[in-house]
Structure 1
Amino acid sequence: MGKHRKRVTPASRAAEALYTAVLVIGMASMAEVFFRMVRRLVD
């Protein structure tokens, strides 16, 4: 990690926000599938 830019570009900011959104959506969908499986096991 030698490349450290002090100036944050809007493109990198947008890419980071997009990556975070994808990560959150993926975790939420995985949690939904997990809860669905648990509910199926409980019933």
Structure 2
Amino acid sequence: MDADMCIVGSLLVGTVCAAMVVGLLRTGFQPDVFAAADR
């Protein structure tokens, strides 16, 4: 059980980190997209 929870936890953390990196890349290289969405 503990090993499975560790695997699930690491997957969740990895997914969150990946989402944050993608978000930073989008805001850094495609600010126009977010500017248009805010309007």
Same-fold call, TM cutoff 0.5: yes
Comparing both structures, which one devotes a greater share of its residues to helix? 2
Instruction: Count residues in correspondence.
Output: 34
Q: Which has the higher contact order (CA 8 A, sep 6+)?
A: 2
| TM norm structure 2 | 0.73
Q: Which runs of 4+ in 1 moved over 3 A?
A: none
Which protein has the larger Cα radius of gyration, Structure 1 or Structure 2? Answer: 1
Q: RMSD of the alignment, in Å?
A: 2.0
What's the counterpart of residue 28 of structure 1?
19
Identity over aligned pairs, percent? 9
Q: TM-score, normalised by structure 1?
A: 0.67
